[in-house]
Structure 1
Amino acid sequence: MFIISFFSVWFANVLYSPTHKYLRDNKVHFILVAISIIMLIASVLQIKPDWEKFQKVNALGPILLICYLALYKLFDFIALKKYNRHMYFSCRISNWMEKEEAKEATWLEFVMQFSLLMISMFLWWKLGDWIAENYL
């Protein structure tokens, strides 16, 4: 589950920036949150008491997606208030996939884009560790 969660976030965040246009739609966002919660429940149900702590933390990988989606909405709200438009994602790695709106992305949006991945990874790491330690 962790690999699926990580690569779905990595792909959306870094490699293919037009994916973020879909996250702006509340219906799509809600469906992705629901899928993430279902993945988390399925992962928790598969955890066995004799597993090592790192296995339990890895099984809690869907927390990464939930954190990512929550942070995305927060950062998009910040961009909406500051620039009166949705957050634009710059695609600085692959020029052949660069979109026109990405050229208007600011440094604040770049920092928020980078923070989406780093903060969600950190939250999953810490929250998953705390849950595995105290509840599983």
Structure 2
Amino acid sequence: MDQELVQYLNEQFAGINQRFEQVGQHFEQIDQRFEQVDRRFEEMRREMSAGFDEVKRHNGVLVEDLRHKLQLVAEGFATNIEVRHTQDREYFDRQFADTHALIRSSYDHLNQRIENLERKGQG
């Protein structure tokens, strides 16, 4: 082979090698960017996971608070029913006693009138 051809081919291969090195450096930069993106995604994933855990914990606290409040409402309602039942019972007991007293008074009055009439009829 002729020296000029060898020189020409060496220059061409050197140029190609230089381009491959540039492409390799470019790929290294791209790899670094992907690594940065991966780190950012991982950081975001951790932050989101921590946020979700906090939301779960907070919702758990809210649910427990609502359960407690619902229990208080149920207990208050049961107490209200018991008080109302007691009041109604007392009211009806008084009404019964009043009605019984009225009937007793009327009975006694009628009984006395009958006795008076019987005495007049015998006398």
Point out the structure with max Rg over C-alpha.
Answer: 2
Ranked by relative contact order (alpha carbons within 8 Å, sequence separation 6 or more), the top structure is 1
TM range (shorter): under 0.3
Higher helix share: 2
TM-score by length of 2: 0.24
